[in-house]
Structure 1
């Protein structure tokens, strides 16, 4: 077999793990920290530096290929896996996963993922393990086949070589105004996220949020290049539902009001409300989507919370309970499942947003580009981190390099190396 050893290396995520429940419940922000007691199991404080764990595969030709494990910023919230524990994940990977890796044909990506990432003791592997190990297996297959990772995905899922660049979406973090200016000056396709994760940022009746939306549109016109017309995308972390109630009609009315305040822009509203379970989320989001569609508004709903796994994504897509799914890659697990998720969305005529988290790494972000491009997703997240420049550079440059290689491959098949 092509894998002769497995290495583990602890590392850093690009941002922080945050206790969403404590923040939602009114934790006071002080500079970059939060005051108050944590509310989510595993958190010793509300904000914790993100950690990661790299898994390295030593191939028989002594090549090293790597993947990175981590969890998302709001771990333990909305049905997600608990806070990432480097020591526990390292021990589990060494005991359970490493022996499996030494006994697979690493040139066959989907088959090796199936064999290595199968359940252990009737329980699914931690999603962080699935995510990092599948990255390493994709890089191994690409190396052994002398292809790009995108070409491996295309071949194994029966997809044509991609030709369309994937629009990139940046997130602002708390430095909203400065980062919005950065995004506009760099002509980002979709912006700005906005991190509307507290009552203070949303405002009474949503007034603070609406003023911010109008300011972003105005600022785009003020300093953007002629012809620049981004999609406006705001993550409100359920605050529409929390502030004005969970009735679908009222939420749809509010979203239409926001859309009407920025005419000419497509408006994405992510996580308008949290209904407490996947089934309730599906039923109520389907009502909101139906109302918005009937009105012909430019606003679109994006689902995140309660839509974590491949099966969750299938349920939302088939029920038309969203216009766009955030396929949050560390929550989905294996990146083979992210590819499947995009294809499920396409089959159901639902938008596919290949997302993730600010807590990720350069390696996971680069692998994400290959999956998003190969499957021709509708948009993808600039990651990791919250600084705009770094994530936009990592994702954008990897996409540019990938298309240069794909174009070379088209002109002289198999005379290139990834």
Structure 2
């Protein structure tokens, strides 16, 4: 199957790009903006409206399949690619990527990705480009074979057709209390993220954070349906380390204390500390995980920062430097690598969380669902945006539609076998 033409269309992400360094340095919120000067290169203000770029592949029958390129909310932080610039990505895609796409056999997914994503000028293509183009290529192969994107992944990686629903995790943004209520009323599997990204939200010695954790657990019991028992997942953006120091033992002590305040719940703590480099992160997270496991704690460590690419995910998984690894899809790049990352986590008996960013789009979110279900990840992020309702609807409905189609496919196969 050949690609006849490549289309590009500017778009918007579902949230904003934020300068994490400036926020951590104490930038004050003024309404929806942050006051002060940006610190991360590329940012003209601390909060920038998220942009995206759609790439459309015109197939031989004139069908057009699309994928979306974008960055993540905290671009340029924790070893990530710099801020997404539409004009630069447009130029590179037009000059370098489009000719490769016109030259590729788009009927075989992994081979097509390998060809299109070869280095340019001895450097890897921007991960946003890999991400968007890999979505479009996956849809192209699915269209050719009249299959779902999940079935294409299963065929390429020799996986059985999945049967299990993947738990969905929602994030609250700054509207914490209102959005927690929404999540509980909709019986979300994992909640609430909490956006604990400043000293004000974490509090002296973490007291503000601990009170919020207890409030979420209490609120779940108050308004949740009988028997509802979500996992509680909080992203603290390194603030445990910033507030109480970068020694693994005191960090583990703090996390155990938090878990003890909500004994009936599984507690996920994402990014407890930032140790400054990937290697230091691996060594110290492994120590924290070991301490928690030795104490029989219900708390689980989730890694995000400094664990971006497939190779970094492999290092964390092999070192067991987390209980759960966020596979942040735009940071990983190609969706083929997201699939590989989930399977790599499973091989090393580490949890695989297919995440991403609030800055994504409906198309990228739907494609991520197919990867998550095909590889049977442990959980996946409701995205894009920070409003809960829209993201949970997009991801949840796509998963339910996909499982219905896969059930029909299984039934058809069984009839033929009989």
Q: Scaled by the length of structure 1, what TM-score is found?
A: 0.99
Tell me, which stretches of 5 or more residues in structure 1 are unaligned?
A: none
1:93-242 maps to which residues of 2 (within 5 A)? 93-242=93-242
Which residue of structure 2 lines up, in the alignment, with residue 257 of structure 1?
A: 257
Q: How many residues align?
A: 415
Which residue of structure 2 lines up, in the alignment, with residue 324 of structure 1?
A: 324
Deviation at 1:2, TM superposition (A): 2.0
Q: Flag the 1:298–1:83 CA change in 2: closer, same or farther, 3 A.
A: same
Distance (Å, rounded) in 1 between the aligned partners of 2:264 and 2:412: 43
Distance (Å, rounded) in 2 between the aligned partners of 1:394 and 1:23: 30
Q: Scaled by the length of structure 2, what TM-score is found?
A: 0.99
Deviations 1:265-313 (A, max 9, x none): 0000000000010000000000000000000000000000000000000
Distance (Å, rounded) in 2 between the aligned partners of 1:410 and 1:43: 49
Q: CA RMSD in A?
A: 0.9
Which residue of structure 2 lines up, in the alignment, with residue 395 of structure 1?
A: 395
SS at match of 2:81: coil
Deviation at 1:105, TM superposition (A): 1.3
Which residue of structure 1 lines up, in the alignment, with residue 282 of structure 2?
A: 282
Distance (Å, rounded) in 2 between the aligned partners of 1:414 and 1:201: 54
Deviations 1:161-203 (A, max 9, x none): 0000000000000000000000000000000000000000000
Which residue of structure 1 lines up, in the alignment, with residue 58 of structure 2?
A: 58
Distance (Å, rounded) in 2 between the aligned partners of 1:345 and 1:264: 27
1:331-346 maps to which residues of 2 (within 5 A)? 331-346=331-346
**For structure 1, which segment, 331-340 or 402-411, has the greater mean C-alpha deviation from structure 2 after superposition?**
402-411
Distance (Å, rounded) in 2 between the aligned partners of 1:325 and 1:145: 32
Distance (Å, rounded) in 1 between the aligned partners of 2:391 and 2:366: 10
Q: Flag the 1:17–1:414 CA change in 2: closer, same or farther, 3 A.
A: farther
Deviation at 1:70, TM superposition (A): 0.1
SS at match of 1:150: helix
SS at match of 2:257: helix
Is 1:44 paired with 2:49? Answer: no
SS at match of 2:53: strand
Deviation at 1:143, TM superposition (A): 0.3
Deviations 1:71-108 (A, max 9, x none): 00000000000000000000000000000001111110
Which residue of structure 1 lines up, in the alignment, with residue 374 of structure 2?
A: 374
Which residue of structure 2 lines up, in the alignment, with residue 357 of structure 1?
A: 357
SS at match of 2:29: strand
Distance (Å, rounded) in 2 between the aligned partners of 1:316 and 1:285: 9
Distance (Å, rounded) in 1 between the aligned partners of 2:170 and 2:324: 16
Is 1:71 paired with 2:80? Answer: no
Deviation at 1:121, TM superposition (A): 1.1
1:19-34 maps to which residues of 2 (within 5 A)? 19-34=19-34
SS at match of 2:48: strand
Deviation at 1:414, TM superposition (A): 12
Distance (Å, rounded) in 2 between the aligned partners of 1:375 and 1:357: 20
Which residue of structure 1 lines up, in the alignment, with residue 404 of structure 2?
A: 404
Which residue of structure 1 lines up, in the alignment, with residue 311 of structure 2?
A: 311
SS at match of 1:412: helix
